[in-house]
C-alpha cells in the first residue's frame, strides 16, 4: 500500500507495454520475417537517412502490439555487443507511463538500477520523454511518456510502409506477459526487485513439483502490476535428471534474458491456422494430452477435435479458461520464442499444460542434442 513517502503506486500505477525492442543482426531481414510470418505491418523507420547514426530501426505494429527491430551498422557499441553475445533477442521491454520523470524517480527510490536519466526528444509532432532502468541480465525497461506526441513512433523516425504482407492475417492483439529466465537461485532476487522497484505483487508461483517432467524441472514466480496489465513471470532452473529448457536457454543466450513473449489473440484457432499457412513452426502436443482434456477443463466454446488437430492447449481456473500454443525458437539459437494465448476469463498461466508443454520442449531439446 502506498505511503506519503512512497510515490511508486501513483507514478507507476498506470503501466502498460509500450513496445518490445529487439536487437538483431539484420533488422531489414527480420522485419520481412515478422511481417510475412506473423502479420505485422511496418509503420516507421530510423537510420542514416533520417539523421540517426550507427543503427537502423524498423517499427512494426499489429493491434495494440508494437515491436522495434534494431541492428548496429558497425561492430562497435552496445547493440552490436548485445547481438554478438546473445544473438537476436529482446533488449528493452519498454513501458508506457503518464509521467516518465515521476515513474523513473519512483523506481529509483525503490532501488532501481539506472541506465539513462530522463530526457526529452521533440520534433514537429510533439515530445516524447524517456528514462531507462536495468533488470535481469542485459535487459532494460524504458519508461515512455508519449501523451504529447502524434508522430509515427518517436522523434528521429519517419513513416515507412512495406509491400510485404502475410499470406493470412494473424490477428494478434496485445502483449499479455513477458517471461524472463534467470540463473540458479536468482528468481527470488528478481521477484523482490520488481516488488520494491515497481510495487508489483506476486500473482502466482510454481515450484519444481508444479513444473517438471521425468527429466527436467524449473521454478517460476509471476510478478504483476495492480491492474494486471503488465505481468512478468521469472523462471529459474531446478534440479532434474537432465538439462532443463532454462539451462539450455542460459547456455545459448549466455546469461539471463527474455525467454518468450506471450501475445494475446481474440481467436486462437484462426491465429494458429494463419501462422501455419504463413510458415511458422509451432510446437506439437502429444495426442495423449487430449484424451482426458474434456474431463479436466469441462465445457468450452471450442471444438476439442479442432484443438487436437492444431495442438492448442487448454487450462481452466476459477475465473474461466485459457487457450495457448507456443512457437519453436524464432532464430537458430534456441532462445526467444512466442506464446499465443486467448483468455476466456482465466488469469492462469497454463499450470495444467506444463507437463505436455515441457515434454514437447524436451523432444526439441533432444533433437538439438542438449537434453
Q: In whole angstroms, what is the distance from residue 185 CA to residue 41 CA?
A: 40
Residue bearing the bigger pLDDT, 239 or 8: 239
Query: What are the CB-based long-range contacts (under 8 Å, 24+) for 323-327?
Result: 323/268, 324/262, 324/268, 324/350, 324/353, 325/268, 325/272, 325/282, 325/283, 326/260, 326/282, 326/283, 326/357, 326/360, 327/275, 327/280, 327/281, 327/282, 327/283
| pLDDT reading at 209 higher than 60 | no
Please state, for a pLDDT cut of 70, what percent of the chain lies above it: 89
| pLDDT reading at 90 higher than 80 | yes
pLDDT of residue 47: 97
**Which residue in 175, 224, 230 sits closest to 195, CA to CA?**
224
pLDDT of residue 320: 93
Q: How many CB atoms lie within 10 A of CB 160?
A: 18
Tens-digit pLDDT profile for residues 8-33: 668 999 999 999 999 999 999 999 99
pLDDT of residue 152: 92
Is there a contact between 313 and 357 (Cβ–Cβ < 8 Å)?
Answer: yes
CATH 3.10.180.10 corresponds to the domain 172-368: yes
pLDDT of residue 163: 81
* 109: Cβ contacts below 8 Å, ≥ 6 apart: 6, 7, 8
| pLDDT reading at 1 higher than 60 | no
Q: Where are the domains of the chain?
A: 8-159, 172-368
| pLDDT reading at 352 higher than 90 | no
pLDDT of residue 328: 95
pLDDT of residue 357: 60
**Which band of pLDDT confidence, cut at 50, 70 and 90, is reported for residue 166?**
confident
Q: Calculate mean pLDDT across residues 178-197.
A: 96
Q: Calculate mean pLDDT across residues 99-112.
A: 96
**Equal CATH topology for 8-159 and 172-368:** yes
Q: Calculate mean pLDDT across residues 101-121.
A: 97
**CA of residue 86 relative to chain centroid, distance:** 16
Q: Calculate mean pLDDT across residues 85-114.
A: 97
Q: In whole angstroms, what is the distance from residue 234 CA to residue 195 CA?
A: 13
Residue bearing the bigger pLDDT, 280 or 209: 280
Query: What are the CB-based long-range contacts (under 8 Å, 24+) for 77-84?
Result: 79/23, 79/55, 82/23, 82/138, 83/23, 83/24, 83/25
Q: Calculate mean pLDDT across residues 104-108.
A: 96
Q: Calculate mean pLDDT across residues 59-73.
A: 97
Return the C-alpha cell found at 164.
510485404
pLDDT of residue 240: 74
Tens-digit pLDDT profile for residues 292-321: 889 888 999 999 999 999 999 998 888 999
Strand 257-265 relative to strand 172-181, pairing: antiparallel
| pLDDT reading at 5 higher than 90 | no
pLDDT of residue 32: 96
Mean pLDDT of the chain: 90
Q: Calculate mean pLDDT across residues 281-290.
A: 89
pLDDT of residue 2: 46
Helices (H), 24-176: 27-38, 78-86, 100-109
Is there a contact between 29 and 144 (Cβ–Cβ < 8 Å)?
Answer: no
Q: Fold for domain 8-159?
A: 2,3-Dihydroxybiphenyl 1,2-Dioxygenase; domain 1 (3.10.180)
Amino acid at each position: 500500500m502506498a505511503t506519503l513517502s512512497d510515490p511508486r503506486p501513483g507514478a507507476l500505477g498506470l503501466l502498460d507495454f509500450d513496445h518490445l525492442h529487439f536487437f538483431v543482426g539484420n533488422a531489414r531481414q527480420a522485419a520481412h520475417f515478422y511481417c510475412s510470418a506473423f502479420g505485422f505491418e511496418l509503420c516507421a523507420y530510423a537510420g542514416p537517412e533520417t539523421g540517426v547514426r550507427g543503427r537502423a530501426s524498423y517499427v512494426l505494429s499489429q493491434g495494440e502490439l508494437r515491436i522495434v527491430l534494431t541492428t548496429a551498422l558497425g561492430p562497435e557499441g552496445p547493440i552490436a555487443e548485445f547481438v554478438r553475445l546473445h544473438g537476436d533477442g529482446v533488449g528493452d521491454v519498454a513501458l508506457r507511463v503518464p509521467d516518465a520523470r515521476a515513474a523513473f524517480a519512483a523506481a529509483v527510490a525503490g532501488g532501481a538500477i539506472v541506465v539513462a536519466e530522463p530526457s526529452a526528444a521533440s520534433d514537429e509532432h510533439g515530445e516524447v520523454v524517456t528514462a531507462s532502468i536495468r533488470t535481469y541480465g542485459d535487459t532494460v525497461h524504458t519508461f515512455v511518456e508519449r501523451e504529447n506526441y502524434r508522430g509515427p513512433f518517436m522523434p528521429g523516425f519517419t513513416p515507412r510502409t512495406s509491400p510485404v504482407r502475410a499470406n493470412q492475417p494473424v490477428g494478434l492483439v496485445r502483449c499479455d506477459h513477458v517471461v524472463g529466465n534467470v540463473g540458479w537461485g536468482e528468481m527470488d532476487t528478481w521477484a523482490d526487485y520488481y516488488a520494491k522497484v515497481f510495487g508489483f505483487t506476486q500473482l502466482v508461483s510454481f515450484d519444481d513439483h508444479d513444473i517438471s517432467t521425468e527429466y527436467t524441472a524449473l521454478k517460476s514466480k509471476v510478478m504483476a502490476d495492480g491492474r494486471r496489465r503488465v505481468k512478468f513471470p521469472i523462471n529459474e532452473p531446478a534440479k532434474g535428471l537432465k538439462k532443463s529448457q532454462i539451462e539450455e536457454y542460459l547456455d545459448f543466450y549466455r546469461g539471463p534474458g527474455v525467454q518468450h513473449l506471450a501475445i494475446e489473440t481474440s481467436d486462437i484457432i484462426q491465429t494458429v491456422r494463419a501462422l501455419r499457412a504463413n510458415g511458422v513452426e509451432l510446437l506439437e502436443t502429444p495426442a495423449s494430452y487430449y484424451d482426458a482434456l474434456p474431463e479436466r477443463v469441462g465445457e468450452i466454446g471450442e471444438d476439442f477435435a479442432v484443438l487436437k488437430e492444431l495442438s492448442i492447449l487448454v487450462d481452466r481456473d476459477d475465473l474461466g479458461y485459457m487457450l495457448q500454443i507456443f512457437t519453436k525458437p524464432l532464430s537458430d539459437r534456441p532462445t526467444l520464442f512466442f506464446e499465443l494465448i486467448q483468455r476466456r476469463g482465466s488469469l492462469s498461466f497454463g499450470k495444467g499444460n506444463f507437463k505436455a508443454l515441457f515434454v514437447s520442449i524436451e523432444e526439441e531439446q533432444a533433437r538439438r542434442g542438449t537434453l
